[in-house]
């Protein structure tokens, strides 16, 4: 895959992980983000520690911390998103959902919420049921925010296996390839949506 058709260097933001040292969710996200980088994208990761630094979202509070502002601004500028959650009790973890709720700050943007961005979703869970319910929940959230989930979603069953080595490298070739494909699909969409924005001619309104 080449990015020669892109009008400019795409910017891909990674969101996800857990507060657990060596989080497999964050490692999977980092692997996908690294592949986006190898393909020519500029990338930024908001992993477990960064997400934990965001206050609990309160719709009544309009002041924002520097961490909140940085997170919202990165998503605002993003051409594509990689979004990763563990399956916690059959759904998206509170840590990840809290960050997503902060995207309410994009409500009044011209590119509202995740409009015009491909979103590649990654889920780790200790069983396939948790993988599947959480992937469905993540995709529903992306749809609610007007984003475009990629055709591929990556689910990694972490029960009893170590999918990443101490350096964060994926030790399972099929999983690594899935994460790379996810990055490729997220990037494939970016030039199309950038061209749509720049031409602004994709919808013909009747006179």
Residue the block writes with tokens 């001619």 = 201
- The nearer residue to ligand FMN, 135 or 190, going by C-beta atoms, is 135
Residue of this chain nearest to ligand FMN (CB atom): 130
- Is residue 122 classed exposed, middle or buried when 0-12, 13-18 and 19+ CB atoms within 10 A define those classes? buried
Residue 170 found at the interface with ligand FMN (CB under 6 A): no
Sole binder of ligand FMN in the list 89, 143, 177, 196 (CB under 6 A)? 89
Q: In the chain, which ranges are E strands?
A: 11-16, 42-46, 80-88, 91-92, 118-125, 148-149, 154-157
Displacement of CA 124 from its chain's centroid (Å): 14
Taking CB under 6 A as the binding criterion, the range among 4-12, 54-62, 113-121, 123-131 that sits at the site for ligand FMN is 123-131
Residue 158 found at the interface with ligand FMN (CB under 6 A): yes
Assign residue 116 a region (left: φ > 0; alpha: ψ between -120 and 50; beta: otherwise). left
- The nearer residue to ligand FMN, 118 or 163, going by C-beta atoms, is 163
- Please report, as residue ranges, which positions from 13 to 42 form the binding site for ligand FMN (by CB under 6 A): 17-18, 20, 23-26
Which residues are registered as beta bridge partners of 119?
A: 81, 149
Taking CB under 6 A as the binding criterion, the range among 33-41, 60-68, 87-95, 160-168 that sits at the site for ligand FMN is 87-95
- The nearer residue to ligand FMN, 78 or 156, going by C-beta atoms, is 156
Phi, psi for 38 (deg, rounded to 5): -65, -30
Residues that bind ligand FMN (CB under 6 A): 17-18, 20, 23-26, 86-90, 124-127, 130, 158
């Amino acid at each position: 895959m080449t990015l020669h058709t892109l009008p400019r260097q795409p910017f891909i933001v990674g969101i996800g992980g857990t507060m657990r040292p060596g989080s497999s969710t964050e490692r999977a996200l980092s692997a996908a983000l690294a592949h986006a980088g190898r393909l020519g994208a500029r990338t930024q990761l908001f992993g477990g520690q960064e997400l934990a630094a965001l206050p609990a979202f309160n719709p009544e509070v309009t002041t924002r911390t520097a961490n909140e502002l940085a997170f919202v601004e990165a998503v605002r500028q993003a051409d594509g998103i990689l979004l990763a959650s563990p399956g916690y009790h059959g759904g998206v973890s509170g840590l990840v959902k809290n960050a997503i709720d902060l995207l309410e700050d994009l409500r009044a943007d011209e590119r509202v919420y995740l409009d015009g961005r491909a979103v590649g979703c990654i889920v780790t869970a200790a069983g396939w049921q948790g993988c599947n319910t959480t992937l469905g929940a993540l995709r529903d959230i992306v749809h609610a925010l007007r984003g475009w989930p990629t055709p591929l979603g990556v689910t990694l069953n972490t029960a009893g296996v170590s999918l990443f080595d101490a350096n964060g490298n994926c030790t399972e070739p099929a999983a690594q390839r899935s994460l790379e494909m996810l990055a490729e699909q997220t990037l494939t969409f970016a030039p199309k949506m950038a061209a749509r924005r720049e031409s602004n001619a994709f919808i013909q309104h009747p006179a």
